[in-house]
Structure 1
Amino acid sequence: MLFFILSTIGKVLTKDEKRDRAIMARIKARDPDALSELYDQYNRLLFGLILSILKKRSEAEDILQEVFTTIWEKADMYDLERGSVYTWIVSLTRNKSIDRLRSKVYKEQKKQSTSLDDEDVFHPLYPDKNDPLEDTILTDRAKRLHAALDKISNKQRKVLQVAYFNGMTQSEIADEYDIPLGTVKTRMRDGMMKLREILAKELEL
C-alpha cells in the first residue's frame, strides 16, 4: 500500500542505483565481497528501519542478519530489470520485521502498545548516543525525509505510521482506533499524495 513511498524515498536516500545493481549481479554470481559491500552501504539505514518497527535492539540485530542472509540465499528473486535494489531490500526488511512483530512469541514479550496519540511514533527516543538510527537521522537526506513527514497533518502521519511500521491494514486501523474506514482511507490517500509531492520536489534539488 505504501510501496510508492519506499520507491520515492529510495531515490532520495540512495546515490547510485547503477552501482547497487552491479553489486546485486555479483551477489547472484556468488561473490561474498559483494554482499559485504551491500551490507556496508545499507546496514545502518536498515537497522534503523527495523528498530523503528520492533523497538528492541536485540530483535533488530537478529532481523538485520536474517535480511542479509536472505539476500545472499535468494538473490535470484531480485530482477535486475525491475525496480531498484533499495526498494527490494527495504521491502524485504519491512516484511521480515512485520512478521516478527506479529509473531506469537514477540507479542508475548512486548508489553506495550503503540497509540495514535503517541507523539513518539515517528520520532522514537533511543538511549544510546551512538545509536545507528540516530546517526542515520542526522544525515542530510534523512533530515529532509523527516521534514517531509512533518509537513503532512498529524492525523495523516499517524495513520500512515501504524500502517507502515505496525503492518496494520486500513480495516484493522479503523477497528483498533475507532475511526470510520472511509476516514482512514481518506487520511492515508491524502497523506501519501502529499508525501509524493514533497519528496518529488526533493528529487529536483
Structure 2
Amino acid sequence: MMPTCNLYTDSELMDLLKEDNADAFTEIYRRYAKLLYQHAFSILKDRDETKEIIQEVFTSLWNKRMNCDIEASLSGYLYMAVRYQVLKIYAHRRVRRDHLAVCKDSLHVYDTVLPDYLIRERQLQHIIDREIDQLPKKMRQVFNMSRKEHLSYKEIAHQLALSEGTVKTQIRNALKILRCRLDAFLYTLLIFFFL
C-alpha cells in the first residue's frame, strides 16, 4: 500500500480508484467497512446478513470504479448503498414472512377441512356397510369375500361350492343393487348440500 494513501481525502481516493488503484480501494474499505457494518447490524441484528451487505456494497464499488461518479460525499454514497441493501433484505423478509403466513393459513384450513373430510368419509363408509348388510345372505357373503377378503371368483367358488359363473352373477347383482341404493342416497345428499 502506498504510505500516504491514508492521508488522501475521500475525493482523492475516488480519483485514484477510477485509475484502478487497489491501494485506494483498500483505504476506502479500511475507513468505512467497520462503520457501515455497525450501522447495518444495528438495524438487521443479523451478523451473516450484515456481512453480506458490506461485501455486496464494496464489491459493487470495485466493479463500478471506472464509471463511479459520486457527486455527494463518499461516506454518504456508501451509507445510501448500505441502506438500499438493508431495504432489500427487509423486503425479502416480508415476502418470506407473508409466504409463511399464507402457508400457515393453508395448513390451518387443511387441519379444519381434513377432520371434516374424514368424518364424511366414515359416514359414507357406514352407509355403504349398512347397504351391504341388507343384501340377501348368500349375495352378501360372496360380495364380502370378493371386496373385503380380496378373493378371486375361483377361490370364492371353491370355498362355497359354487360355479364361477354363479359367483360372478352374485357380485354383478350386488353391485347393481348397491349402485341403485347409493345413487339415490348421493342424489339426496347433493340436493341437501346445494339447495
Give TM-score, length-normalised by structure 1. 0.40
Q: Which one has more relative contact order, counting CA pairs under 8 Å at least 6 apart?
A: 1
Please identify the structure whose Cα radius of gyration is greater.
Answer: 2
- Structure number with the higher helix fraction is 2
Give TM-score, length-normalised by structure 2. 0.42
